[in-house]
Structure 1
């Protein structure tokens, strides 16, 4: 198994969803987070959740929960930094962190290997996912060695992921967006309804069975 660990970004304000925790909204009778973990867990050596507020609401998952290291919800870059900081201290053997959004239930099973391949082929330190002609900067592979530079940028007010990654170089790996975009994210109630439709029509497609998800698994 890879030594890479993953951070699930769940620290947003979910304004379009009406507030609360998007990853705990139900899809197919299970929280979105269950679907995300089922897809990511087999690919990495460890998992951490980035979420603000009381971490007890995620206690059933048996995973470490880390808050944004900066106040006022500066965006997903802060969640990435939280994951990098956690990996640097809790997983000293790790070199990279894979970041994924907590509201993307259809993530591909080859996410990590293809991001690693894209980064290596381009000779750059980072890689992000793409589909349907769009890049998805929060779904990316990050070297832990860049956490100092990322912290400095955030303290200077940087919030835009692709502007920061462009300083160092970021490749992209493309996935097909049909029949289901693997990076579909449930940002609003209508998106969640569409995800239900996609899930019911998948018939064993992009999401693993519920039996593959065990919230009590060790990180």
Structure 2
């Protein structure tokens, strides 16, 4: 489903310590990089796409997408990538931006529509599985209002690093998904990559 006006950003700025470093998104799954798998799943759901990553952007040149570095130094975590996504989307005139993780290629093909439905008038939601009363959050999958970018920038510079805490303080709602088949299975270790290669839902 095309969601007009929502750009999407693939968060690929982590250090991949449990994978031994490097770019997890460039590892192969079924003959394609994880990022390409994510691009394929996200592209029908958004209007524009970019990759959030640090270092030399040339290593992502094959994807022909903008590469957005963190705007806060020191690898402060996913919130820095969200800020880069917000600033980029605001420059496109978008009211909100969708983020997804580069190491989680099985996310739902109706992710954006369901984030939008959950976000309400504030347009702010995070993916979760489980019960609404005790959700299991997947906070790198979210719909983020660009109007909050200055608040996020201030809080990041003040030391904020907790994605869920910051999001809930600023009005995020859960977009609940079924846990069956683990749609937000993320590839953090070599063993996870082996498990992902056994799945048939790409």
Shorter-chain TM band: over 0.9
Aligned mates of 2:162, 2:177 — CA distance in 1: 23
How much does 1:95 deviate? 1.1
Structure 2 match to 1:43? 45
Contact 2:10–2:52 at 8 Å: present in 1 too? Answer: yes
Query: Which blocks of at least 5 consecutive residues in structure 2 are unaligned?
Result: none
Structure 1 match to 2:141? 139
Contact 1:124–1:171 at 8 Å: present in 2 too? Answer: no
Aligned to 1:166, the other structure's residue is in SS state helix
How much does 1:136 deviate? 0.6
Give the length in aligned residue pairs.
Answer: 196
Structure 2 match to 1:114? 114
State which of 122, 126, 129 in structure 2 corresponds to 1:128.
126
RMSD of aligned Cα (Å): 1.2
How much does 1:177 deviate? 2.1
Contact 2:122–2:145 at 8 Å: present in 1 too? Answer: no
TM-score by length of 1: 0.86
Structure 1 match to 2:60? 58
Larger deviation, residues 124-133 vs 152-161: 124-133
Please show how residues 1-12 of structure 1 align to structure 2 within 5 Å: 1=2, 2-12=4-14
Q: Which runs of 4+ in 1 moved over 4 A?
A: none
Contact 1:137–1:161 at 8 Å: present in 2 too? Answer: yes
TM-score by length of 2: 0.93
Aligned mates of 1:26, 1:176 — CA distance in 2: 27
Contact 1:16–1:188 at 8 Å: present in 2 too? Answer: yes
Given the alignment of the two structures, is residue 67 of structure 1 paired with residue 69 of structure 2, yes or no?
yes
Query: Which blocks of at least 5 consecutive residues in structure 1 are unaligned?
Result: 208-219
Aligned mates of 1:75, 1:117 — CA distance in 2: 27
Given the alignment of the two structures, is residue 189 of structure 1 paired with residue 187 of structure 2, yes or no?
no
